Amino acid sequence: MDRAEQAGLGVAIIGHVAVFVALSVSLLSKTERATPINPPMAVELIAETAAVSSAPDAVLDASPPPVATEPEVAPLPPIAVVPPPKLKIDRVQPKPKPVAPIQTPKKPIVKPTLPAASKPQSKLNLSMRDLSSAAQQEATRATERAGTGKGQGKSGSGTPAVKTAAEVRRDIRVSLAAEILPYWKRCVPDGVDIALMETQLDLRINPDGSLAGVSNVAQTGVNDSNRAQQQRHKECAIKAAQLASPFKLDPASHDVWKLWPMAFKATERK
Amino acid sequence: MTKLRLMIAAILCAVAPVAAVMAQATATAPAPTREIVEAVVDSEMTIAVPPLATPQPMETAAGNTEMLGRQIAAIIASDLDGSSAFKPVGPSGLRAINMAEVTAPAFGEWAGKNAENLVHGFVRANNDATLTVGCYLYDVSLKSELVRQGFVVGPRDWRRAAHKCADAIYARLSGESPFFDSRIAYIAETGPKGNRVKRLAIMDSDGANHRFITNGQALALTPRFSPDYKSILYLSYLGNRPRIFIYDIAAGKQRLVTESVNQTFSPRWSPDGKSILYSMAIGGNTDIYRISANGGVPQQLTNGPGIETGGSYSPDGTKIVFESDRSGSQQIYVMNADGSSQQRISFGAGSHATPEWSPRGDLIAFTRIGGGQFRVGVFTPAGNSERLLTSNWQDEAPTWSPNGRVIQFFRTAQGSGKTGVWQVDVTGAKERKIATPVDGSDPSWGPLLP
How do residues A57-68 score in pLDDT, each as one tens digit? 333 333 333 333
What percent of chain B has pLDDT above 70?
92
Rounded average pLDDT over B218-226: 92
Q: Which long-range contacts (CB under 8 A, 24 or more apart) does B100-104 make?
A: B101/B53, B102/B53, B102/B134, B102/B136, B103/B136
pLDDT score at B32: 64
pLDDT at B284 over 50: yes
Rounded average pLDDT over A24-33: 52
Distance to chain B for A188, nearest Cα, Å: 7
Per residue, the 3-state secondary structure of B174-213, as one string, reads HCCCCCCCEEEEEEEEECCCCCCEEEEEEEECCCCCCEEC
B334, B339, B340, B344 alpha-carbon torsion, rounded to 10°: 20
- A92 touching B, CB under 8 A? yes
Q: Residue B439's closest CA among B413, B411, B415, B419? A: B419
Banded model confidence at residue A120, pLDDT cuts 50, 70, 90: very low
Does A217 or A87 have the greater pLDDT score? A217
Distance to chain B for A106, nearest Cα, Å: 29
- How many Å apart are CA B369 and CA B350, to the nearest integer? 5
- How many Å apart are CA A224 and CA B91, to the nearest integer? 36
- How many Å apart are CA B72 and CA B136, to the nearest integer? 13
Banded model confidence at residue B9, pLDDT cuts 50, 70, 90: low
pLDDT score at B329: 92
Q: Are A267 and B363 inside 8 Å of each other by CB? A: no
Q: What angle in degrees, to the nearest 10, is found between the helix axes of A118-128 and A165-187? A: 10
CA triplet B89, B90, B92: central angle to 5 degrees?
145
Banded model confidence at residue B295, pLDDT cuts 50, 70, 90: confident
Rounded average pLDDT over A210-238: 93
The strand pairing partners of B278, in sequence order, are: B289
Rounded average pLDDT over A5-21: 80
Cβ atoms of B91 and B73 closer than 8 Å: yes
Q: What is the mean pLDDT of chain A?
A: 61
Banded model confidence at residue A26, pLDDT cuts 50, 70, 90: low
Cβ atoms of B138 and B118 closer than 8 Å: yes
pLDDT at A108 over 80: no
| CA end-to-end distance (rounded Å), chain A | 100
Q: Which of A186, A232, A264 sits opposite B37 (nearest CB)?
A: A264
pLDDT score at B412: 94
Q: Are A265 and B37 inside 8 Å of each other by CB? A: yes
A 188-227 residues inside an 8 A Cβ radius of B:
188-192, 194, 200, 223-225
Task: Give residue-wise pLDDT tens across range A171-207.
Answer: 666 578 889 999 999 898 888 899 999 999 999 999 9
A 49-78 residues inside an 8 A Cβ radius of B:
none
- A177 touching B, CB under 8 A? yes
- How many Å apart are CA B404 and CA B410, to the nearest integer? 17
pLDDT score at B129: 92
Q: Residue B37's closest CA among A173, A125, A209, A203? A: A173
Q: What angle in degrees, to the nearest 10, is found between the helix axes of A133-148 and A165-187? A: 150
- How many Å apart are CA B249 and CA B232, to the nearest integer? 7
Amino acid at B340: S
Per CB-CB distance under 8 Å, the chain A contacts of B140 are 87, 89
pLDDT score at A161: 60
Q: Are B177 and A228 inside 8 Å of each other by CB? A: yes
Task: Give residue-wise pLDDT tens across range B94-132.
Answer: 999 999 999 999 999 999 998 999 999 999 999 999 999
pLDDT score at A25: 61
DSSP state of A206: -
Distance to chain A for B85, nearest Cα, Å: 7
Rounded average pLDDT over A66-94: 32
A137-160: buried (b, 16+ CB within 10 Å) or exposed (e) per residue? ebbbbbbebbbeeebbbeeebbbb
Mutating which of A163, A190, A242, A258 best tests the B interface, going by the most B Cβ atoms within 10 A? A190
Chains A and B form CB pairs within 8 A to the count of 136
Per CB-CB distance under 8 Å, the chain B contacts of A225 are 360, 362-363
Per residue, the 3-state secondary structure of A135-155, as one string, reads HHHHHHHHHHHHHHCCCCCCC
Banded model confidence at residue A1, pLDDT cuts 50, 70, 90: low
Which chain B residue has its CA at the smallest distance from A94's CA? B142
- How many Å apart are CA B248 and CA B228, to the nearest integer? 11
- How many Å apart are CA B124 and CA B131, to the nearest integer? 6
Q: Are B175 and A229 inside 8 Å of each other by CB? A: yes
Cβ atoms of B176 and B405 closer than 8 Å: yes
- A186 touching B, CB under 8 A? yes
pLDDT score at A110: 32
Rounded average pLDDT over B239-248: 89
Cβ atoms of B143 and A200 closer than 8 Å: no
Banded model confidence at residue A41, pLDDT cuts 50, 70, 90: very low
B391, B396, B401, B404 alpha-carbon torsion, rounded to 10°: 70
pLDDT score at B239: 84
Banded model confidence at residue B31, pLDDT cuts 50, 70, 90: low
- How many Å apart are CA A71 and CA A109, to the nearest integer? 6
Which of A35-39, B27-31, B78-82 is predicted with the least confidence, judged by mean pLDDT?
A35-39
pLDDT at B271 over 90: yes
What percent of chain B has pLDDT above 90?
75
Q: Residue B354's closest CA among B405, B316, B311? A: B311
Per CB-CB distance under 8 Å, the chain B contacts of A185 are 39-40, 43
Cβ atoms of B301 and B335 closer than 8 Å: yes
pLDDT score at A155: 37
Q: Are A265 and B45 inside 8 Å of each other by CB? A: no
Task: Give residue-wise pLDDT tens across range B150-191.
Answer: 999 999 999 999 999 999 999 999 999 999 999 999 999 998
Q: Are B41 and A225 inside 8 Å of each other by CB? A: no
Cβ atoms of B231 and B249 closer than 8 Å: yes
